[in-house]
A and B are shown apart, each in its own frame.
Chain A
């Protein structure tokens, strides 16, 4: 068998085609026949990232939230959307909404995002086959946000808004990529997660995407999933230049903790609390909500404070993406620990 016949034989396998498709960048997956965009009035978001995507594009079409929202998060959202009910999520066996309840909600479309594998695709297909509701997956990583925004915008019948937000996303991504001088190495960052700060995200994982885009490197790497547990001695051995956390409790306790406060990064004042309202800036959920965190992250990583302009920029992002800008004082409070 020569190389050409081997490749031809390989391509004949469905699995090989899937692999090839994965290399060609993200593409939309549709189960069922898509309704015409103007007929899409009610959208069910399968998970938190999809809910954020649907919300920024067309809040009036989002029928509810797949995750419970804290009162603090609600206060950062437009009054009409913050009162939408918590419905549960669709995620294979981990689903928390019964299909019957899904049917009773009568959505015109199920929207889903995130990384896609064969298990996930078969679960999506299963939901469509059993309910008859069209199921659309717009996969992709943070760098694919512009494409996700414009594709989903077209699906939901708001192509102009999708295009506008996609341009804005592209601008934020380009700016973040440019924050690190060409050839320079970004700072080594420890992302402290969990109440004790000893869970972290590995370099190259989904949870460290914004960090990588803004020119930082997670000190933790290795095989396996995105989140790992580490010992404090390991953190001390890594000697991170910057420590980031999304946990307000840990942020408050670390600076007075005998061990954490001795880390060079903390002594240099480089422990930052990543804002997490209404959605996380680093992850939680891993959706387009992370875009607002990119300029912030770049400024903290490369030590170039944005000053007063920062609050204005965050406010502008909220106005443009979430259709609601919180009070300036509220944002200043949120950025105080940051």
Chain B
């Protein structure tokens, strides 16, 4: 296999990191930037604060969220043998959204909102797997998708109810902004809380990377090759939910990343999961870092990240679609 896709991904990520460090409303020259970086977080001065407590945590959050959503999307697309699947297929985003909306409605502080969003995402996916585990007469993958749609709709209705009950001048904007996604509030503590959860979810995905492709076979064939399909599937769901839940908790709902990035990654390195997962991790991290840099520096006010990723992601997706032939 050629090495150029990996070099390209590495270059893109480096550029994304450099742009994320250099851009922002407070102007810092390259020299100042470098001095602040080398000086460490405890040095004095505005540049240190800007770099270490504003830009770096936010950049780290963007890289984390991008990598997490892309990994979850890659895993789900392989598992469901369907290129249209995204990380919220099992209701994680709707569940997280409802948790956050309720937390805002009850006036909880930021940490409470994050916790409620994370718990909401886990609850939704937990319910879906519970339902799917009890239905045995149909194709298990189909039941998972349908249960995901139903539970997702239920939680979305819960979000709408919270919006109706919210105070229109004070709480409603907060709920709306949360649902649009964004990293403007990312603090070092947020990243510190989300990173172990994302790592805990990514680790099984990376360890199982050579076995996931077996899921593209029919269940009987995979079983004939000695694979416990339902256990592998369950592990993938738990891992993908963990990374999705953790990233949604700190970033809100950021759409399209988990759908588009896996496609682009497969286009670059081929369809094998063992190769497309690491490629998706790098590409997703770079994509969200660039989108977030635009979100915070294109205008004085923030452009919601979810809107930017959709603006970039949807045309890219159509382009991939038009090229045709190289999906799954």
Contacts and interface: CB of A to CB of B under 8 A. Distances in A.
Interface of A: 47-48, 67-68, 91, 94, 96, 193-196, 198-199, 202, 207, 220-222, 224, 227-234, 236-237, 246, 249-250, 253, 258-259, 262, 280, 283-286
Interface in B14-67: 24-26, 46, 49-50, 53-55, 58
B108 A259 contact: no
Contacts of A249: 107-109
Nearest to A194: B174
Contacts of B218: none
B299 A259 contact: no
A233 B169 contact: no
Contact of B169 (A207, A236, A258): A207
A234 B174 contact: no
A337 to B, nearest CB: 16
Given A68-B165, A234-B25, A195 B110 contact: yes
Given A68-B165, A195-B174, A199-B173, A222 B54 contact: no
A49 to B, nearest CB: 9
A233 B170 contact: no
A286 B168 CA distance: 10
Interface in B80-110: 104, 107-110
B187 A259 contact: yes
A179 to B, nearest CB: 25
B46 to A, nearest CB: 8
B182 interface: yes
Contacts of A224: 301
Contacts of B49: 236, 259, 262
B216 interface: no
Nearest to A257: B187
A228 B301 contact: yes
B164 interface: yes
B170 A193 contact: yes
B174 A231 contact: no
Contacts of A67: 167
A230 B170 contact: no
A233 B182 contact: no
B296 interface: yes
A198 B169 CA distance: 15
23 contacts: A48-B169, A67-B167, A68-B165, A96-B164, A193-B170, A193-B173, A194-B174, A195-B107, A195-B109, A195-B110, A199-B173, A222-B299, A228-B301, A230-B184, A231-B302, A233-B54, A236-B50, A237-B24, A237-B26, A253-B110, A259-B54, A280-B170, A283-B169
A286 B25 contact: no
B237 to A, nearest CB: 31
A3 B180 CA distance: 48
Nearest to A200: B301
B25 A196 contact: no
Contacts, number: 108
Contact of B24 (A194, A195, A207, A233): A233
B55 A227 contact: no
A230 B169 contact: no
A245 to B, nearest CB: 11
B185 interface: yes
B254 interface: no
A67 B108 CA distance: 19
Interface string B190-206: 00000000000000000
A48 B167 CA distance: 9
A323 to B, nearest CB: 24
Contacts of A231: 24-25, 54, 58, 184, 296, 302
A120 B39 CA distance: 57
B300 A199 contact: no
Nearest to A239: B26
A259 B184 CA distance: 13
A229 B304 contact: yes
Given A196-B110, A259-B187, A229 B182 contact: yes
Given A222-B300, A227-B173, 10 more contacts: A193-B174, A194-B174, A199-B174, A230-B184, A233-B25, A236-B50, A237-B24, A249-B107, A284-B169, A286-B169
A284 B173 CA distance: 12
B113 interface: yes
A327 B17 CA distance: 57
A336 B140 CA distance: 60
A290 to B, nearest CB: 11
Contacts of A253: 109-110
Contacts of A246: 170
A204 B215 CA distance: 57
B317 interface: no
A250 to B, nearest CB: 8
B6 interface: no
B25 A194 contact: no
